[in-house]
Amino acid sequence: MRTTPILFVISILSVPQIQARNFNTQARSYSIFDSVLQSAYQISSFVQDALNVVLTQTQTVSNATEDAPEDAYLNITQLATKYGYPIEEHTVTTEDGYIINVHRIPRGRHNVTNNVVVFLMHGLVESSESWILQGPDKALGYILADQGFDVWMGNARGNKYAKKHLTLQPNQQDFWDFTWEEIGIYDLPAMIDYALHVTNRDSLYYVGYSQGTTSFYVMNSLKPEYNKKIKMMFALAPVAFMANVRSPLIKMFSPASESLAYLLLNYNASSTDYLTSMTGKFCSNMSLTCNIILHMIVGHDSKHLSALMPLLLGHMPTSCSTLQLVHYGQLVQSGRFCQFDYGAQMNLEMYGKDSPPDYDLSKATVPNVVFFSEHDWVATPADVKRLLTRLPNVYDSNFIADFNHLDLMYAPVANDIIYSKIVKYIYDFEYNTILGVY
């Protein structure tokens, strides 16, 4: 059992058929042998981290091997319908041709409605489903709908609800030639404009989790005209600066690690479908292993989550582009929040200078309410504090002791600690404008 995560890593390392992102990769002509030597130290420390996680996890998650509940096998429409919520599926096409399904819960169980529109954006390898998995009275999507808010749940290109394109097929490499920057400059604007159009509003509330915050800040800085379409941004575990990331799997994608995974995937677009199907295989009979892997990614304090794990693993990971991981890996190394690093020569062509430009957070003028937590290995407290000093309009920030990265989304107690607060912020902001900045 203890060696399985290592096998998993090796299988990531041996991904076949990856191709170049449309530019010259000559600058990085490593001999694989040299890189193995260079990376020996980092790999061994990665293995150590992994083993530590395995050892600390084996006890606490041992109950997760129980059979997965029915909800693990239901999709978003089936889930919402089962629990008595109306759900609509809408289709949005981005400027660059991706066709994305967006899900809407227009009202909740109590049939009250007001005119507040809330847009929710999931994290890496997740989908719109993430917002309702915990069920009524626990999941943010349902809680907001029961308040009478009009809830829209976006999807990022490449995930299970956004795997179509006007001209490309997911089996073509070009389909996967994007990072979370494209999600920020194409997917979010298309979905937000669509939701505003359908609801006939000028602006909405945005809740982002993890990558759903990264791509939001990209949108704010590269398309600042979208600031005025957002009343308030709720950032759950925001990821922008990453110098202090502790998650071994994310670090593995950092150029600083010089690991084989980075070298093999470097600059090459492909889907993480192999990873998803592999996880599926493992998880059908080995949910303990999956638990361990997830906790290696997100931080190892799992006391809030063990009961929910079989359900979560039925819904994630869904697919993304490997370049999303590589771009995050670059942020870990550089400690900056900046555009994709193509290597000095290509950067000159793309950006007119040899290093990638920073995203200009001073343009992100939307009022931000930030939630971050003590045991988060991805959005670490140190990195979030740095983000807080850069955001020009921090409305409030909330530090949560004892939570890890996933707990903000999935801990049963998140309703008391986070979601009921979001509802209150919206009421204050919406109906008592003296508190607002506009």
Ligand X SMILES: *[C@@H]1O[C@H](CO)[C@@H](O)[C@H](O)[C@H]1NC(C)=O
Give the nearest distance from C-beta 385 to ligand X in angstroms. 33
Q: Rounded CA gap, 388 and 361, in Å?
A: 10
CA distances from 49 to 52, 96, 288, 300, 375 (A): 5, 40, 17, 11, 15
What sign does the CA torsion over 187, 193, 196, 199 have? negative
Catalytic residue among 122, 315, 327, 405: 405
Token digits for 386? 């740095």
Please name which of 174, 243, 229 lies closest in space to residue 196, comparing C-alpha atoms: 229
Say which residues have a Cβ less than 8 Å from residue 230's Cβ, sequence separation at least 6: 192, 203, 204, 205, 206, 366
Q: Rounded CA gap, 367 and 250, in Å?
A: 29
DSSP secondary structure code for residue 18 in this structure: -
187 catalytically annotated: no
Give the nearest distance from C-beta 151 to ligand X in angstroms. 15
Of 19 and 397, CB closest to ligand X: 19
Q: Rounded CA gap, 63 and 218, in Å?
A: 40
Binding site for ligand X (CB under 6 A): 18-20, 25, 60, 63, 75-78, 89, 111, 263-264, 266-268, 284-285, 306
Of 60 and 397, CB closest to ligand X: 60
Give the nearest distance from C-beta 166 to ligand X in angstroms. 20
CA distances from 149 to 30, 154, 409, 422 (A): 54, 16, 19, 12
Of 161 and 359, CB closest to ligand X: 161
Give the nearest distance from C-beta 128 to ligand X in angstroms. 9
Q: What residue spans of 61-128 are helical by DSSP H? A: 76-82
Of 238 and 356, CB closest to ligand X: 356
271 catalytically annotated: no
Of 263 and 426, CB closest to ligand X: 263
Catalytic residue among 49, 376, 383, 407: 376
Residue 38 — φ and ψ, nearest 5°? -60, -35
Q: Which residues of 141-173 are buried (b: 16+ CB within 10 A; e: fewer)?
A: bbbbbbbbbbbbbbbbbbbbbbbbbeebeeeeb
Residue 381 — φ and ψ, nearest 5°? -55, -40
Give the nearest distance from C-beta 213 to ligand X in angstroms. 25
Catalytic residue among 130, 210, 270, 334: 210
In degrees, rounded to 5, the angle at the alpha carbon of residue 435 between the alpha carbons of residues 429 and 436 is 65
Give the nearest distance from C-beta 417 to ligand X in angstroms. 21
210 catalytically annotated: yes
Of 285 and 389, CB closest to ligand X: 285
Residue nearest to ligand X (CB): 19
Residues annotated catalytic, as ranges = 210, 376, 405
